[in-house]
Amino acid sequence: MDLSRFPRRRYTSYATPLEPLPRLSAALAATCPGGQGPELWVKRDDLLGLFPGGNKTRKLEFLMADALAQGADTVITCGAPQSNHCRITLSAAVKEGLQCRFVIEERVPGSFAEDASGNHFLFRLMGVEALTVVPAGSHMAAAMQAVADELAAQGRRAYIVPGGGSNALGGLGYVACAQELQQQCFEQGLHFDTLVVGSGSSGTHGGLVAGFLGNHIPMPIIGIGVSRDPADQEPLVWKEAQAVCDLMGLGVQVPREAVHTVGGYWQPKYSLPNARMVEAVQMAARFEGLLLDPVYTGKAMAGLIGLAREGTLKAGSRVLFLHTGGLPSLHVNEAALLGQVAVAP
């Protein structure tokens, strides 16, 4: 798969590390049937550029290149009040000398606060130009277009980045990740039996599916839903994967069986803490010094732990967890993560 024909800004000058997690593997094994579990590794996409890193950085390399090619002076995107995607988009805009505006969807009523910490603090620190807050269920594309129209009336030129950077162009970032991972495995003599990733707006998961298909990587991908169960999530991932393949001109149909997600770990609602997420975040922090976030990677790791305990991830298999970032969100959920307040089961 040749990505060289697509304009790209480079925000990371290195391949993100592959690291073994021996102490977490041992702690997990002690809770698995027979005292045996999978061998866990992590790919550290939380160490990507546009501090403090995360999966959106890969997508923005292609999206920001397109924005600049179109002569944009402002980028507009959307997300929840603590959106990692919004924060990294703003970081990219600052780096490129562009203005940035957000449409914030208050998915949990009362969750937006002007003086919030975490990512919202970083929004203000890095100088977001304006925020438009809309209620849950709003038509986000229409809301962003309204902001773009307002700017156009002022003689400005806006570029709309979809939520999560999840479209075919953004998905190329995870085709690039698939190629990077394939090269690392070759150079380091590694083989993984399964890749586990959080599955949300679908760009990361769908881009990986397309990248694995196009680069003939036979490793199964399991997406842990962070906002939807499989009946709703898998069609979104499949559509994204197919769009990326079509953009690349591969001329292939993405097999339905290439898209596999697991539900049940995200409830009671997107971004709200639950006990399995708290356990996963604590285990990663206390056994490996690996910091996960409560919205995405914490719930994805909770899914991995659950799949190991039920035997879906086999004892002795080598499992790679994709760490997609999200560090600032830890600070919004400190009491829950330290066990100081009750959370959903």
CA–CA separation, 23 and 17 (whole Å): 18
107, 282, 287, 323 from 197: Cα distances, Å: 23, 18, 20, 8
For tokens 């990361």, what's the residue? 204
- Residue among 67, 71, 105, 113 nearest 89 (CA): 67
Q: How is the beta sheet containing 39-44 ordered, strand by strand? A: 18-20, 39-44, 318-323, 194-199, 221-225, 261-262
Q: Hey, which residues does 18 pair with through a beta bridge?
A: 43
Neighbours of 193 (CB within 10 A): 15
Q: Has 83 been annotated as catalytic? A: yes
Please provide residue 225's backbone torsions phi and psi, each rounded to the nearest 5 degrees. -65, 130
- Residue among 204, 174, 205, 178 nearest 192 (CA): 178
Catalytic residue among 4, 13, 25, 83: 83
85, 171, 174, 179, 323 from 16: Cα distances, Å: 19, 18, 13, 12, 10
| Residues with catalytic function | 83
